[in-house]
Amino acid sequence: MSVDMNSQGSDSNEEDYDPNCEEEEEDEDPGDIEDYYDGVANDVEQQGADAFDPEEYQFTCLTYKESESTLNEHMASLAATLKVSHAVAKLVLVSFHWQISEILERHKSNAAQLLVEARVQPTSSKHAMVHSSHHCAVCMQFVRKENLLSLACQHQFCRSCWEQHCTVLVKDGVGVGVSCMAQDCLLRTPEDFVFPLLPSEELKDKYRRYLFRDYVESHYQLQLCPGADCPMVIQVQEPKARRVQCSRCNEVFCFKCRQMYHAPTDCATIRKWLTKCADDSETANYISAHTKDCPKCNICIEKNGGCNHMVMGFSLSSADFCWMCLGDWKTHGSEYYECSRYKENPDIVNQSQQAQAREALKKYLFYFERWENHNKSLQLEAQTYQRIQEKIQERVMNNLGTWIDWQYLQNAAKLLAKVSSGVLCRYTLQYTYPYAYYMESGPRKKLFEYQQAQLEAEIENLSWKVERADSYDRGDLENQMHIAEQRRRTLLKDFHDT
Task: Encode pLDDT of 218-243 as tens digits.
Answer: 999 999 999 999 999 999 999 999 99
Of 35-39, 87-91, 129-133, 328-332, the range with the highest mean pLDDT is: 87-91
Residue 183 has pLDDT above 70, yes or no: yes
What's the confidence (pLDDT) of residue 119?
A: 94
What's the confidence (pLDDT) of residue 465?
A: 82
What's the confidence (pLDDT) of residue 175?
A: 95
Q: What is the pLDDT of residues 114-155, one digit of tens each?
A: 999 999 999 875 544 445 567 888 888 887 888 889 999 989
With cut-offs at 50, 70 and 90, classify the pLDDT of residue 46.
very low
**In 423-441, which positions are buried (b, 16+ CB within 10 angstroms) versus exposed (e)?**
bbbbbbbbbbbbbbbebee
Residue 187 has pLDDT above 60, yes or no: yes
With cut-offs at 50, 70 and 90, classify the pLDDT of residue 36.
low
**What average pLDDT score do residues 368-376 get?**
88
**Of residues 222 and 353, more confidently modeled:** 222
Residues 431, 334 contacting (CB under 8 angstroms): no
With cut-offs at 50, 70 and 90, classify the pLDDT of residue 382.
confident
Residue 29 has pLDDT above 50, yes or no: no
User: What Å distances lie between residue 286 and 300, 303, 372, CA to CA?
Assistant: 15, 16, 11
Distance, in Å, from the CA atom of 160 to the CA atom of 199, rounded to the nearest integer, reads 11
User: Which of 41-45, 57-61, 210-214, 491-495 is predicted least confidently?
Assistant: 41-45
What's the confidence (pLDDT) of residue 476?
A: 84
Q: What is the pLDDT of residues 51-99, one digit of tens each?
A: 567 888 999 999 999 999 999 999 999 999 999 999 999 999 999 999 9
CB neighbour list of residue 149: distance below 8 Å, 6 or more residues apart: 156, 157, 158, 159, 162, 193
Residue 11 has pLDDT above 50, yes or no: no
Residue 200 has pLDDT above 50, yes or no: yes
Please state the length of the chain. Answer: 498
Residue 294 has pLDDT above 90, yes or no: no
Distance, in Å, from the CA atom of 458 to the CA atom of 354, rounded to the nearest integer, reads 39
Residue 283 has pLDDT above 80, yes or no: no
Enter the pTM of the model. 0.74
Residue 395 has pLDDT above 70, yes or no: yes
What's the confidence (pLDDT) of residue 350?
A: 74
What's the confidence (pLDDT) of residue 2?
A: 36
Does the active-site annotation cover 307? yes
Active-site residue, selected from the candidate residues 307, 322, 325, 425: 307
What's the confidence (pLDDT) of residue 89?
A: 97
- In three-state secondary structure terms, 179 is strand
**What average pLDDT score do residues 302-312 get?**
64
With cut-offs at 50, 70 and 90, classify the pLDDT of residue 444.
very high
* Mean pLDDT computed over every residue of the chain: 80
With cut-offs at 50, 70 and 90, classify the pLDDT of residue 273.
very high
What's the confidence (pLDDT) of residue 233?
A: 97
| Count of CA atoms in the C-beta half-sphere (13 A) of 157 | 21
What's the confidence (pLDDT) of residue 285?
A: 56
User: Which of 48-57, 299-308, 465-474 is predicted least confidently?
Assistant: 299-308
Residue 47 has pLDDT above 60, yes or no: no
Residue 420 has pLDDT above 80, yes or no: no
The angle subtended at Cα 307 by Cα 2 and Cα 334, nearest 5°, is 120
Residues 106, 114 contacting (CB under 8 angstroms): yes
